[in-house]
Chain A
C-alpha cells in the first residue's frame, strides 16, 4: 500500500533528475567548489515557482481541469516531451562549480586551490566533445580539416593539403576507405544503446502506470499500443524513443567524430549547440519571470483602482511602449556594456561577467516587454471589477486587497499563463537577432545568435561552411516549434473563449 502510494507520487517521475542531482552532490563532495551564477539562482527560483504553482494547481479545480485537457492533447504532449528534453539539458547546465586543481603531493593549502574555469554538470557529461578541439573548420563527420595548410615534407618540398584532424576520426587507419563503414558500425551500436535506454524508460513508465491503475503491465502495454489511453502515451513514448536514438548516437559517435563539424576555432558545433540551449531557455523564461511582478501588479492595480493610479500607470507604459523595442533594448545593453567595461573589477571570472550580461539582458528584455501583459491585465481587471461577484463582495464590505486576491487574481491567471507561454518563443527568437546586432549575450557565451553571427561571415567561403548555421537552425527551430505548439495547447485549454467550442 505505502509502496503504491509512494509510486503514485509525482516525484517518482523525476527519478532520473534526482539521480543526476545525487551525482552532482557527489562531485561537490569530492572537493569541487560550487559556483552560483546570478542566472543559476534565478533558474532555481523559477523551478521552485513552477513547483509551487503545480502544487497550487493540483488543489484547484479550475487550474487542474485545463491541465487535464493539455495532457490529453496529442501535439501538446509531443512538444512537451521535446521541451522537457531541452529543459533537462538546460538544468544540467545550470549547476556550476570549479573542479579542484589536481596537484600531486598537495599540501593542505593547495587542496583548496581550484581551477579557474567554471564548469557545469553538462560540461562534465559531454567532456569528450568539449575538450576535443581541432585547429579550425571541419565538416560534419570529417576526418580532415576544411582548409588547406602548407606542410613541409621531410624531403623539404612544400605541399598544400587538408591535414588530418586531431580527434575526428583519428582512430581510423585509412579514413578514405574505412570511414563510412566505421560510421555505419558505430551508428548501429548507437541505435542499440538508444534502444536499451528507451526500453528502460518504457518499462519504468509501464510499471508506474500499472501501479497507478492497479492493472497488470501487459494490459497497460496493450492499451498504449492500441493508442486508446486517455493520455497519448503511444505518441509520448515514440517521441521519447526518437530522443533516445539521438542520445545513443551521440554517446557512441560523439567522441569519435564531430557529428556537426567544428567551427572557426575548432570547437565542436554539437557542443556549442548543446551549450546554447541554456542561454535560449534562460532568456525565454527569466525575462518573463522578471517582468511578471511589474505587469501583474501594475496592470491589476490600474484596472481595479482606476483614477490617478490608472493615469500614472498608463502614462508609464505608453511612454515605454512608444520607444521602438529593439532600440530601447539596444540602448540599454550598450549602456550596460559601457558600465561593465568601466567596472571590470566587479566580476571574478569571464564566466561570471558573461553571466552578468545575460542577467542584465533578461532584465532589459523584461522591462521592455511588460507593457503588453500589463495592458491586457488592466483591461481585464477593469472588466472584472464591474462584474456582479466583485460588487457582491463590496456589498459585504470585503477589503480591496482581499477582493484583488480572491476575485481578480484567479480570474486573470489564465491570461498570465498564456502570455508567459506565448512570450517564450518570441524571446528565444529575439535572442538570436539581438546577438546578431551585437546587443545580445556576451560574444564569449554560447548562443545560437552568436553561432549564426559567426557563421554568417563565412557565407562567402567556397565550399560553403554550412554546418554551424544548420545546427543553430535545427536546435532553435525544434525548440521554438515545440514551444509554439505547446502554447497553442495551453491557450486552447485555458482561454475560456476557446474552451466553449
Chain B
C-alpha cells in the first residue's frame, strides 16, 4: 500500500491525575490514504481531539510527553522525531485548523503576518514573493479584496472569514494532510455550508488528505470517504462512508443514528443511551460500552472485546460480531411510541404583537443616544396552549432577545405581550412578579444557569419560595423530590452541588426548576445545543413527555432544524430582528417560501444526500442589527432579490391560513 499517507498504530495518550492514569487515547490505530477524507466521529470527551493533537504533538503541558505507539507519516515515525525536526512537519506536511476561529488567531498580528510566518518558515518566502503568495492564498479561500484584507487584524473579520484565514494558514505549507478539528462547530449553518464547500473544493484542487474530527453525523455524511467512531478513548468501529451509513454495526453507532431527531420520528421517543461515559482513570476488564448497551450480556461485563476486522477495511470492537464468542445478547427493546394527538385546543395562550426591543447605543460627552441595536424589530407571533412554537434563526438574529423580551427579562421598547388576557408590558413590577410563575425559561448553557454555590434542592426551591408555592419547608421538599424523580434524577441528589452532574443531568435539573412553579409556557433557549446528540435526545424526550402531561406550551428557540422537525408544531424563522416566515412545521420545512428559509434549510447538512432539495448557497455574512440594510433586510444576500427588495420592507403575505411570509416574491 504505497498510497498510505499516515498510519497511526496503537497510539496511546494519557493524563496522570490523583485518581490514577487516564488513557484518553487508548490503542488507536487507523490509516489515511493520499487525498482521502477520514473522519473521527464521537461525542465530547471521547478522545478524538486528543488523537489529533497527539499526531501533531501539540498536547497540553500536563501530557506533553505521555504518548506511545507509532504515528507513521509516509513510513517515518513522528513520535521518534526530536521536537526540532517535528517543527518541519507541523504546518508544512501536516497542518491543522481548530474549532474556535475567534480565539485561534493572534489578535495583535495582521492576517498577512500570520500567513506569512508559515511561508517564511517552510517555503523560505519573504518580502514581495511572500506577499504575492499570501494574496493568492486569500483568494483561494474566498476572501474578497485580498490586497486590502492582508493588513487587517482578525477582529475586523467575521467568524466565517476567520476560519477561512485559518484554512489559508494551513494551506500555506502545501500540506499532505489537513487535520480539521470540528472546523464548523462554532459557525452558523449557512456559514458552515460555505466552509465545508470550500474544504471540498480545496481538497479537489490540492489533492491533500483530510482528517476530520467531528461529532456531527451529517457532516461526516457529506464530507468523508471513511469514518472511525470513537468511544471512551477507543475506536469502536471503522467503515467506509457508505457501509457506515447503510449499516452501522457497533451498538453505539446505531444509537447515535437513532438519537438524531427528525420529522419522521415525531411519533416516537428518540433513542437514548442511558448512563454516562465511564471514568477513564481505571483499568478496563470489560467492554467500555457494556453498561449502556441494550444488547450487553455477561461476557460484555467480563471480557474486553477485541477488534474484529471485516472486509474492505471494515472493523468493529464488539462481542456481537466475534464468532468465537457465543451471542447471548438481549433483544433490543422496541422504541416507545408517544401519542402525538397534538393537543391543539386552539386556545390562545400568548400573543405577541409588534414587539420591539431596541438597545440604545450611547455616545459622546453626555451619553446621548447615537443609534440603536434593532435586536427585535416589530415581531408578532402567537403560541397556543400545549403547543410548541419553534423560533429559528442564526446567531445574532435576535431570537434570544425576543425570548427574554416576552417573559420581561428584557424590557421591550414597544409592542404588547398578551398572556392569559393581560399585557405583560403594562404590568407594574409587583403585578409582574406574582405572575412570573406562569412563564419560565430554560437556558442554553446548563453550566452557567445554576449557581455553583447552591445545592440542587435549594436551586429548585428558590422559585417556589419566591412564588409562594408549598406552605412549609417540608411540603416543598416533597415537591422537589417528586420533580427530581420526574426528570429522571434521584431525591438524594437534592443535597448535591451542580458541578457533580453531567451536562445533560444539569439541563434536567433546570427543567425541574422551571417546572417547580407550574408554568403554562416555558421559553426554551437552545436547551440542547450545548449537549451531545445522545444527551439531546434525553432532554427532547423529557420535554415532549412533560408537554403531554401538563399541557405545557413551549417557545423553542433553536438553530437546529432537525430538532424543529421533531418537536415543533409551528415554526417562525427570524432574520435580523424580524420574522420572515411562519407557519406550521410541515409548511415551513417542506414548502419553504422565503429565500432565506430555503437557503437555511438547504445549508443544513443531512445524512441522506438524495433527499436534498435544490441547493441554495448564501454569500457573505449577516449584516449588523445596528445598521440593517434598507428595504428587505435580506436583499444583499438574497439570490432572488428584485428591485423592490432594495427599497421597501416586504409586508407579510398569506400563503395559507397558517402560513405567512414577508417577501416581495409572493
A and B touch in the complex (CB under 8 A): yes
Residues of A within 8 A of B (CB): 60-62, 387-389, 391-399, 402, 406-407, 410-411
Question: B462–A395 contact, CB under 8 A?
Answer: no
Question: B445–A60 contact, CB under 8 A?
Answer: no
Q: Which residue of B lies closest to A311 (CB)?
A: B367
Q: Which residue of B lies closest to A410 (CB)?
A: B453
State whether A391 and B452 are in contact (beta carbons under 8 Å apart), knowing that A61-B497, A396-B463, A397-B467 are contacts in the complex. Answer: no
B430-464 residues with Cβ-Cβ distance < 8 A to A are 432-434, 436-437, 439-441, 443-445, 448-454, 459, 462-463
Q: How many Å lie between the Cα of A388 and that of B526 in the bound state?
A: 13
Q: Which residue of B lies closest to A398 (CB)?
A: B466
Judge if B513 is at the interface, Cβ distance under 8 Å.
yes
Q: How many Å lie between the Cα of A393 and that of B443 in the bound state?
A: 12
State whether A391 and B451 are in contact (beta carbons under 8 Å apart), knowing that A62-B497, A397-B436 are contacts in the complex. Answer: no
Q: Which residues of A contact B433 (CB under 8 A)?
A: 397
Judge if B409 is at the interface, Cβ distance under 8 Å.
yes
Per the CB 8 Å criterion, the residue count for chain B at the interface is 30
Judge if B165 is at the interface, Cβ distance under 8 Å.
no
B404-445 residues with Cβ-Cβ distance < 8 A to A are 404, 407, 409, 432-434, 436-437, 439-441, 443-445
Partner of B448, one of A62, A389, A394, A399: A389
Q: How many Å lie between the Cα of A393 and that of B404 in the bound state?
A: 13
Q: How many Å lie between the Cα of A339 and that of B433 in the bound state?
A: 53
Q: Which residues of A contact B450 (CB under 8 A)?
A: 389, 392
- A384–chain B nearest beta-carbon distance, Å: 9
Q: How many Å lie between the Cα of A62 and that of B407 in the bound state?
A: 32
Question: B407–A395 contact, CB under 8 A?
Answer: yes
Q: Which residues of A contact B439 (CB under 8 A)?
A: 395
Among B409, B453, B462, B497, max chain A CB count under 10 A is at: B453
Q: Which residues of B contact A398 (CB under 8 A)?
A: 462-463, 466
Among A394, A402, A407, max chain B CB count under 10 A is at: A394
Residues of B within 8 A of A (CB): 404, 407, 409, 432-434, 436-437, 439-441, 443-445, 448-454, 459, 462-463, 466-467, 497, 510, 513, 517
Q: Which residue of B lies closest to A62 (CB)?
A: B453
Question: B467–A406 contact, CB under 8 A?
Answer: no
- A166–chain B nearest beta-carbon distance, Å: 61
Q: Which residues of A contact B404 (CB under 8 A)?
A: 391
Q: Which residues of A contact B436 (CB under 8 A)?
A: 395-397
Q: How many Å lie between the Cα of A136 and that of B439 in the bound state?
A: 82
Q: Which residue of B lies closest to A411 (CB)?
A: B453
Question: A397–B432 contact, CB under 8 A?
Answer: yes
Question: A410–B451 contact, CB under 8 A?
Answer: yes
Q: Which residues of A contact B409 (CB under 8 A)?
A: 391, 394-395
Q: How many Å lie between the Cα of A307 and that of B494 in the bound state?
A: 38
Q: Which residues of B contact A61 (CB under 8 A)?
A: 497
Q: How many Å lie between the Cα of A387 and that of B407 in the bound state?
A: 17
Q: Which residues of B contact A389 (CB under 8 A)?
A: 448-451, 459
Q: Which residues of A contact B440 (CB under 8 A)?
A: 395-396
Q: Which residue of A lies closest to B439 (CB)?
A: A395
Question: A407–B466 contact, CB under 8 A?
Answer: no
Q: How many Å lie between the Cα of A410 and that of B451 in the bound state?
A: 9
Question: B467–A391 contact, CB under 8 A?
Answer: no
- B164–chain A nearest beta-carbon distance, Å: 31
Among A392, A394, A398, A411, max chain B CB count under 10 A is at: A392
Question: A396–B449 contact, CB under 8 A?
Answer: no
Q: Which residues of B contact A392 (CB under 8 A)?
A: 441, 443, 449-450, 463, 510, 513
| 5 A-B pairs with least C-beta separation | A396-B463, A397-B433, A388-B449, A410-B453, A397-B436
- B13–chain A nearest beta-carbon distance, Å: 19
Among B432, B437, B445, B462, max chain A CB count under 10 A is at: B462
Supplied contacts A388-B443, A395-B436, 12 more A-B pairs, CB within 8 Å: A62-B453, A388-B449, A391-B441, A393-B466, A396-B440, A396-B466, A397-B432, A397-B466, A398-B466, A406-B462, A410-B451, A410-B454
Q: How many Å lie between the Cα of A395 and that of B523 in the bound state?
A: 11
State whether A388 and B466 are in contact (beta carbons under 8 Å apart), knowing that A61-B497, A396-B436, A397-B434 are contacts in the complex. Answer: no
Q: How many Å lie between the Cα of A406 and that of B466 in the bound state?
A: 13
Sample 23 A-B pairs with CB under 8 A, ordered by A number. Answer: A60-B453, A61-B497, A62-B453, A388-B444, A388-B449, A389-B449, A389-B450, A389-B451, A391-B409, A391-B441, A392-B441, A392-B449, A392-B450, A395-B436, A395-B439, A395-B440, A396-B466, A397-B434, A397-B437, A407-B451, A410-B451, A410-B453, A411-B451
Question: A411–B452 contact, CB under 8 A?
Answer: yes
Q: Which residue of A lies closest to B458 (CB)?
A: A406
Question: A396–B467 contact, CB under 8 A?
Answer: yes
Question: B451–A406 contact, CB under 8 A?
Answer: yes
Q: Which residues of A contact B445 (CB under 8 A)?
A: 388
Q: Which residue of A lies closest to B442 (CB)?
A: A392
Q: How many Å lie between the Cα of A441 and that of B440 in the bound state?
A: 58
Question: B497–A393 contact, CB under 8 A?
Answer: no
Q: How many Å lie between the Cα of A411 and that of B453 in the bound state?
A: 7
Q: How many Å lie between the Cα of A411 and that of B459 in the bound state?
A: 15
Q: Which residues of B contact A402 (CB under 8 A)?
A: 466
Q: Which residue of A lies closest to B443 (CB)?
A: A388
Q: Which residues of A contact B517 (CB under 8 A)?
A: 396
Q: Which residue of A lies closest to B513 (CB)?
A: A392
- A402–chain B nearest beta-carbon distance, Å: 8
Q: How many Å lie between the Cα of A410 and that of B450 in the bound state?
A: 13
Q: How many Å lie between the Cα of A389 and that of B517 in the bound state?
A: 16
Q: How many Å lie between the Cα of A402 and that of B83 in the bound state?
A: 56
Q: Which residues of B contact A396 (CB under 8 A)?
A: 436-437, 440, 462-463, 466-467, 517
- A144–chain B nearest beta-carbon distance, Å: 61
Q: Which residues of A contact B467 (CB under 8 A)?
A: 396-397
Q: How many Å lie between the Cα of A387 and that of B450 in the bound state?
A: 9
State whether A393 and B462 are in contact (beta carbons under 8 Å apart), knowing that A61-B497, A388-B443, A388-B445 are contacts in the complex. Answer: yes
- B363–chain A nearest beta-carbon distance, Å: 16
Q: How many Å lie between the Cα of A124 and that of B437 in the bound state?
A: 66
- B206–chain A nearest beta-carbon distance, Å: 39
Q: Which residue of A lies closest to B432 (CB)?
A: A397
Q: Which residues of A contact B441 (CB under 8 A)?
A: 391-392, 395
Q: How many Å lie between the Cα of A193 and that of B665 in the bound state?
A: 100
- A383–chain B nearest beta-carbon distance, Å: 11
- A349–chain B nearest beta-carbon distance, Å: 48
Q: Which residues of A contact B466 (CB under 8 A)?
A: 393, 396-399, 402
Q: Which residues of A contact B407 (CB under 8 A)?
A: 395
Among A389, A395, A402, A410, max chain B CB count under 10 A is at: A395
Q: Which residues of B contact A411 (CB under 8 A)?
A: 451-453
Q: How many Å lie between the Cα of A387 and that of B453 in the bound state?
A: 14
Q: Which residues of B contact A393 (CB under 8 A)?
A: 462-463, 466
Q: Which residue of A lies closest to B525 (CB)?
A: A388
Q: How many Å lie between the Cα of A315 and that of B453 in the bound state?
A: 32
Q: How many Å lie between the Cα of A407 and that of B453 in the bound state?
A: 8
Q: How many Å lie between the Cα of A399 and that of B462 in the bound state?
A: 11
Q: How many Å lie between the Cα of A62 and that of B451 in the bound state?
A: 11
Q: Which residue of B lies closest to A414 (CB)?
A: B453
- B503–chain A nearest beta-carbon distance, Å: 14
Q: How many Å lie between the Cα of A219 and that of B453 in the bound state?
A: 38
Q: How many Å lie between the Cα of A393 and that of B409 in the bound state?
A: 10
- B522–chain A nearest beta-carbon distance, Å: 10
Q: How many Å lie between the Cα of A396 and that of B432 in the bound state?
A: 10
Q: Which residues of B contact A62 (CB under 8 A)?
A: 452-453, 497
Among B432, B434, B443, max chain A CB count under 10 A is at: B443
Q: Which residue of A lies closest to B430 (CB)?
A: A397
- B222–chain A nearest beta-carbon distance, Å: 33
Q: Which residues of B contact A391 (CB under 8 A)?
A: 404, 409, 441, 443
- B575–chain A nearest beta-carbon distance, Å: 25
Q: Which residues of B contact A387 (CB under 8 A)?
A: 448
Q: How many Å lie between the Cα of A395 and that of B407 in the bound state?
A: 7
Q: How many Å lie between the Cα of A397 and that of B464 in the bound state?
A: 10
Q: How many Å lie between the Cα of A411 and that of B448 in the bound state?
A: 12
Q: Which residue of B lies closest to A390 (CB)?
A: B451
Q: How many Å lie between the Cα of A62 and that of B498 in the bound state?
A: 11
Q: Which residue of A lies closest to B519 (CB)?
A: A395
Q: How many Å lie between the Cα of A391 and that of B514 in the bound state?
A: 12
